[in-house]
Amino acid sequence: MVAKKYIDKSIPNLKKSDTVTFALDMMEEYKQEQLPIVENHQFLGIISKDVLDMLPPLANQTLDEVASLHENLVIQENFHLYELARVASDLSLDILPVFDANNKFKGMLNVKEAAQDFISKFAAQPIGAILILQIKAIDFSMAEISRLVESNEAKVISMFTEQDNIDQNLLQVTIKLNTIDLTRIVATFERFDFKILGKFHDYETQQFESHRIDLLLKYLEI
């Protein structure tokens, strides 16, 4: 799940010489709120429909007269989907420019398509329980968490971390396991002073995952 996998050749490029009207027409035709400006295979920034809509209606006004955004943004082709999601969210972008190791522009990444691919992989995971832990950020160790799970003859299928909304020194760690029986695993984590924030078993797990996916789809307006 790296950036180069999600390069979308169908995303059209704009040029500085294109008019604002042409850019808006392209956005309408391709159902895109943002499009890149590319000249001679060089990425020059991103134009947003929100910006174009605020411009006064001037005949034949070109994009050369419009400030493009994120002209210095560089997404390396080996960036993982997690990093792509963070950048896209921080900058409110639907598309991202992808570059190779030599900083040669390779094309634009479609954030929604990448998200859909992640959702399909997440939804295809086998049924298992979900455990949510609270951990001090300084103490977080994927290896230690996996070791404690495996000491109870279970496996970690996936793991996600997010910063606590109240205390930035804490992490919330969501763990998907290959078992629906959490009794021994919970006892182990509590013995090692991990705080348990939530437990989901079997049907509850499916509901939890469905809720998370629904929230992501709603956010992306897919």
For 169-178, what is the mean pLDDT? 89
How far, in Å, CA of 161 to CA of 171, rounded?
Answer: 6
**Mean pLDDT across the chain, nearest whole number?**
85
| Contact criterion met (CB below 8 Å) for 87 and 55 | no
Q: C-alpha distances in angstroms, 157 versus 115, 135, 144? A: 19, 19, 15
When mean pLDDT is compared across 26-35, 154-163, 174-183, 197-206, the lowest value belongs to: 197-206
Query: pLDDT tens digits for 37-72?
Result: 999 999 999 999 999 988 877 768 899 988 888 999
CA atoms within 13 A on the CB side of 212: 15
Write a three-state SS string for 62-126. Answer: EHHHCCCECCCCCEECCCEHHHHHHHHHHHCCCEEEEECCCCCEEEEEEHHHHHHHHHHHHHCCC
Q: Check residue 84 and give its pLDDT.
A: 83
Q: C-alpha distances in angstroms, 111 versus 23, 100, 178, 188? A: 20, 18, 29, 39
Q: Check residue 215 and give its pLDDT.
A: 56
The residues facing 99 across adjacent strands are 76, 105
Q: Check residue 202 and give its pLDDT.
A: 52
Q: Check residue 18 and give its pLDDT.
A: 95
Could you tell me the pLDDT band of residue 80, with boundaries at 50, 70 and 90?
confident
Supply the DSSP symbol for 98.
E
The full set of domains in the chain, from first to last, is 3-119 (3.10.580.10), 125-220 (3.30.70.260)
When mean pLDDT is compared across 19-23, 181-185, 200-204, the lowest value belongs to: 200-204
pLDDT surpassing 70 at residue 30: yes
For helices 202-220 and 111-123, what crossing angle results, to 10°? 170
For 78-106, what is the mean pLDDT? 88
Q: Using a cut of 0.85, tell me whether the model's pTM lies above it.
A: no
Could you tell me the pLDDT band of residue 21, with boundaries at 50, 70 and 90?
very high
The pair of three-digit structure tokens given for residue 211, joined into one six-digit string: 């809720």
Query: pLDDT tens digits for 193-220?
Result: 999 988 876 544 455 545 555 555 555 5
Q: C-alpha distances in angstroms, 141 versus 47, 55, 64, 147, 151? A: 41, 50, 49, 10, 16
Q: How many CB atoms lie within 10 A of CB 45?
A: 19
Phi and psi at residue 59, in whole multiples of 5°? -65, 130
Q: Check residue 98 and give its pLDDT.
A: 96
Q: Check residue 205 and give its pLDDT.
A: 45
For 86-98, what is the mean pLDDT? 90
pLDDT surpassing 80 at residue 26: yes
How are strands ordered across the β-sheet holding 75-76? 75-76, 95-99, 105-110
Q: 93 in helix, strand or coil?
A: coil
For 63-87, what is the mean pLDDT? 86
